[in-house]
């Protein structure tokens, strides 16, 4: 099977489509799932969902994620790691290639990314006004995490802290989506969301393996760079174990229904991906299947849990 073609200016003559594609829309699906999970935890608590608020929450969460994606491309181009990445597994690793292939300039990418993040601010203020002042803290924390993941001076991913940032960021997506409906904090979205957020972190973690040489050469000291490819394989296993262990613990503690155990089924995909990573960690071209399975595991877990929590039979403990 041939690899997807990288973007070119000739293939994207329409400016709107060009900028839209630069956000890497296919990868926004994990935020879509995170929002659904947050809405599901509110419904699980017996809170009637407001369609307008739910739609607005989803739209602006996706916009924030899109901005973070573009900002990541901008700073990875500045550092030189994307330009030097010859072992990338497009479209999963090595960035969007919009800057490297001349589709967008470095400056245009930076302006676009920061504009997307800025556009979220007034929307967040409106959602805060109609749901609760504490939402501002969630939104601010989410924007800071999305920016600091790539941008100096924090550059969390380059300091080996990217996985912590991603876990926090996608947990905030779930908690924030729940908060807008609930108008307050609760433990349920944490119980349902932390395992999902860890699986999303594993997506970013495994993506570092094909990029390890380029990242190291550019001084982007991700966790995989710091550990080395052989030892870093254990990191994937540890994150996956925590991700599936957390909802199991929440079921045992009574915070989630027994039927939530169905959402552990994607562990099969994670196990297969871990075995492939174990065998081919140093061979980027052989990791494509593992990258796909890791995305599948995160999305399927979140979707299954969201469906379970919204079904009447899912509420029996």
The answer for 102, left when phi > 0, alpha when psi is -120 to 50, beta otherwise, is left
Neighbours of 260 (CB within 10 A): 23
What mean pLDDT do residues 206-223 have? 96
Please answer whether residues 191 and 305 qualify as being in contact, where contact means their C-beta atoms are separated by less than 8 angstroms.
Answer: no
Question: Could you tell me the residue ranges of all domains in the chain?
Answer: 15-315
Q: How far is CA 236 from the centre of its chain?
A: 15
pTM listed for this prediction: 0.96
Please answer whether residues 281 and 229 qualify as being in contact, where contact means their C-beta atoms are separated by less than 8 angstroms.
Answer: yes
Which tens digit of pLDDT belongs to each residue from 114-142? Answer: 999 999 999 999 999 999 999 999 999 99
Which tens digit of pLDDT belongs to each residue from 143-173? Answer: 999 999 999 999 999 999 999 999 999 999 9
Above 80 in pLDDT, residue 2?
Answer: no
pLDDT at residue number 315 = 56
pLDDT at residue number 166 = 97
Above 50 in pLDDT, residue 317?
Answer: no
The average confidence (pLDDT) of the chain is 95
Q: How far is CA 158 from CA 16, 149, 170, 192, 282, in A?
A: 32, 8, 19, 29, 20
pLDDT at residue number 314 = 55
Tokens of 4: 């997807």
Which tens digit of pLDDT belongs to each residue from 235-267? Answer: 999 999 999 999 999 999 999 999 999 999 999
């Amino acid at each position: 099977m041939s690899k997807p073609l990288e973007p070119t200016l000739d293939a994207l003559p329409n400016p709107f489509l060009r900028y839209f594609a630069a956000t890497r829309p296919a990868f926004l699906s994990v935020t879509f799932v995170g929002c659904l999970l947050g809405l599901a935890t509110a419904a699980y608590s017996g809170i009637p969902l407001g369609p307008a608020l739910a739609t607005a929450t989803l739209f602006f969460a996706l916009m924030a994620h899109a901005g973070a994606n573009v900002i990541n491309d901008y700073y990875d181009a500045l550092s030189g790691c994307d330009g030097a990445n010859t072992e990338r597994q497009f479209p999963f690793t090595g960035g969007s290639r919009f800057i490297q292939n001349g589709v967008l300039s470095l400056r245009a990418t930076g302006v676009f990314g920061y504009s997307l993040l800025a556009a979220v601010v007034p929307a967040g203020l409106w959602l805060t006004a109609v749901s609760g002042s504490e939402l501002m803290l969630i939104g601010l924390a989410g924007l800071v995490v999305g920016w600091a993941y790539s941008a100096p001076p924090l550059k969390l991913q380059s300091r080996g802290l990217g996985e912590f940032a991603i876990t926090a960021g996608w947990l905030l997506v779930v908690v924030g989506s729940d908060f807008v409906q609930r108008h307050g904090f609760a433990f349920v979205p944490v119980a349902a969301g932390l395992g999902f957020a860890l699986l999303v972190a594993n997506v970013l973690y495994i993506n570092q393996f094909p990029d390890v040489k380029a990242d190291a050469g550019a001084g982007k000291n991700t966790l995989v760079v710091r550990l080395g490819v052989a030892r870093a394989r254990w990191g994937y296993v540890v994150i996956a174990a925590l991700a599936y262990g957390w909802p199991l613990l929440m079921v045992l503690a009574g915070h989630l229904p027994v039927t939530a155990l169905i959402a552990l089924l994607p562990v099969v995909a994670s196990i297969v991906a871990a075995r492939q990573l174990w065998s081919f960690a140093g061979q980027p071209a052989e990791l494509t299947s593992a990258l796909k399975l890791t995305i599948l595991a995160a999305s399927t877990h979140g979707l299954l849990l969201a469906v379970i929590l919204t079904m009447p039979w899912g509420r029996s403990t």
